[in-house]
Chains A and B, each alone.
Chain A
Amino acid sequence: MKPVKLSEFWQYATVEKRPTRDGYGEALLELGKNNPDVVVLTADLAESTRVLPFQQKYPDRFVECGVAEQNMMGVAAGLALAGKIPFVSSYAVFSPGRNWDQLRVSVCYTKANVKIAGAHTGISVGPDGATHQALEDLALTRVIPDLVVMAPCDAEETRKCTLAAAAYKGPVYFRFAREKTPVMTVKDTPFEIGKANVCREGYDVTIIACGPLLHQALMAAEKLAGKGIEAEVINCHTLKPLDAKTILQSVKTTRCVVTVEEHQITGGLFGAVSEALAKTFPVPIEPVGMPNSFGESGAPDELLAKYGMTEKQIILAAQRVIKRK
């Protein structure tokens, strides 16, 4: 399949680096200006979830809930049922970690048009340690009926993801990260909920990634090419609804898959891809992700290396899975 357009600098050290959460804050300002129904809530994390500029500019459409995530989710449901488009902003370990019941019943079962933004996801949260590293949020959200689940790959895609969430009618969860990561996509890279983007063509193995680790996947593919292995790389930014069509089309050629995510290897992207392919076109799949354990304090790069979510691990996984064909 024809790959989407990426930044011409994506593989160089000069690539722009920004935290994905910045894209969220920018999009909210755009939405604040263009849509008076957009409302933002936070639970004492306005600065680090990047909603502070919205609060300063649109104080009448901002609700500071204090450190009370369960109430925040319910209040958002009430706002949505009254016609608003609320964005619930906190760390993913608390929201949806702590208010999953409210997400399930007050928001999703009620079909309330609420957008939930989970910040500080992945092991790369770093020094805060295991309690603050959300590695289960995709599993928690993916099991709830009718909830859209997204993991954008960089700040630009997070901006588009936020705008798309506002335009979509129904509950949406999306996650972002704390650290600066390469901005691979550009303004005219397409983004559509439920439509995976092929970023690199190949025929030996399909690497399906979500979130900022997409960069590692693309770098791994370049290295694999040097070893004579042509990998197709898919940016699967939407985990639910999963773009099984694009994945299947790729896998019919490559006949093996590596999934890459900053999440437990159970219940997230590996789970979603395995479920889809087991039903339609079973092939060997190797996961790169958190190996069923809790994280710890450390520098982001050290942690990604220790727990096996790097370019090197992706290369090894690709070589292993090709042998299993």
Chain B
Amino acid sequence: MRKTVKQMGLIANQIRQDIIKMLVKAGSGHSAGPLGMADVFTALYFGGIANVDPKLRHDPKRDRVVLSNAHICPVLYATLARRGYFPLAELKTLRQLGSRLQGHSNSHFDIGIETSGGPLGQGISQAVGMAIASRMNSQQSSVNSRQSISSKLTTNDRRQTTYHTWCLESDGEFDEGQTWEAYLLAGKMNLRELTTIIDRNNIQIDGFTEDIMPLEDFAKKLRAFNWFVIEVDGHNIRSILDAMRQAKSQAANPTAIICHTIPGKGVDFMENKFEWHGKPPNRDEARIALHELRTLGGKIKSEHE
């Protein structure tokens, strides 16, 4: 699946509309983060980056995508639905009883989600574990193959079972000690099988990150942990694609892509407002937001209104 940059712009816009519709229906959830990450998710899933395919969702060689800041799951759900993992109509069940689309994403329902998240900082450790497993598979020695009796995979299967792991995280997660523990381990192991994609939107629930718990000089800190760091405009799909390709070809170290994003991107009254971190729009607000997205901020006339 590889769309053109122009097509991806339209997909990201659709995903933003999906997010608004889901949130207004659910009546709770997070608005700013999902909207801010729509371009990044689009690049990862539609730009030929993550080696995943809804038809091969159990393939041991698939890339692993881990959403650590699982509260922004509406953007993941919308992306997966648009990518064909489950019907688009199901999006409106978000957060409802019996839905596969839980308030924080989990791995129970075979819809292309690898892990369960919510408590911040947990996804990165799981992603490190997945990347280490890929490394171990590539190193399986022939000695082990002779000794392997109980295992289903042969050494050859195992050697070929390598993949890249992509972990999506938020800047707020770097308040958690666990995140730094994981960065230490990945840095120690030169875990080139892992790329993190950090939503640097500068907000968290109680305010701006630099007021709540300053992270700068952020890139410098990560480099000091033996990571390769790239900083990009998280709304420039071409730059995001370039950074992701560069990360995947890294031979020496794990890569962190710091994506500078605007929380609430695409909806004027939500942009850069930390008040929109943890709440959904009401019906009137959703109408205004959808109008803005459909008309690309007034640049075109909406076909659907």
Contacts and interface: CB of A to CB of B under 8 A. Distances in A.
Given A36-B148, A105-B116, A78 B133 contact: yes
Nearest to B130: A78
Contact of B181 (A68, A80, A109): A68
Contact of B64 (A63, A70, A82, A105): A82
A75 B182 contact: yes
Contacts of B118: 105
A82 B147 contact: no
A146 to B, nearest CB: 12
Contacts of A65: 181, 185
B129 A82 contact: yes
A44 interface: no
Nearest to B158: A36
A287 B155 CA distance: 51
A70 B126 contact: no
Contact of A74 (B64, B158, B161, B178): B178
A181 B220 CA distance: 52
Given A78-B115, A79-B129, A110-B107, 16 more contacts: A34-B147, A66-B181, A70-B125, A74-B122, A77-B129, A78-B128, A79-B133, A82-B129, A82-B133, A102-B122, A102-B178, A105-B117, A110-B115, A110-B116, A110-B126, A111-B108
B140 A74 contact: no
4 A-B pairs with the lowest CB-CB distances in the bound complex, closest first: A78-B129, A74-B125, A82-B133, A71-B181
Contacts of A60: 136, 139-141
A83 interface: yes
Given A70-B178, A75-B185, A106 B128 contact: no
7 contacts: A35-B148, A36-B144, A36-B155, A60-B141, A82-B129, A106-B115, A110-B107
A244 B133 CA distance: 39
Contacts of A34: 147, 149-150
A134 interface: no
B158 A68 contact: no
Size band of the A side of the interface? 35 or more
Contacts of A86: 129
B170 to A, nearest CB: 16
A312 B58 CA distance: 57
Contacts of A74: 122, 124-126, 128-129, 178, 182
A81 interface: yes
Nearest to A78: B129
A78 B167 CA distance: 12
A1 to B, nearest CB: 33
Contacts of A101: 119, 122
Contact of A71 (B60, B128, B155): B128
B171 interface: no
Contact of A106 (B125, B133, B134): B125
A76 interface: yes
A75 B125 contact: yes
Contacts of A36: 140, 144-145, 147-148, 151, 155, 158
A66 B184 contact: yes
Contacts of B144: 36
A75 B115 contact: no
A72 B161 CA distance: 23
B98 interface: no
A39 interface: yes
Contacts of A179: none
A75 B132 contact: yes
B225 to A, nearest CB: 13
Contacts of A110: 106-107, 115-116, 126
B296 to A, nearest CB: 39
B114 interface: yes
A105 B119 contact: yes
B127 interface: yes
Contacts of B66: 78
Interface string A250-261: 000000000000
A187 interface: no
Nearest to A84: B133
Contacts of B145: 36
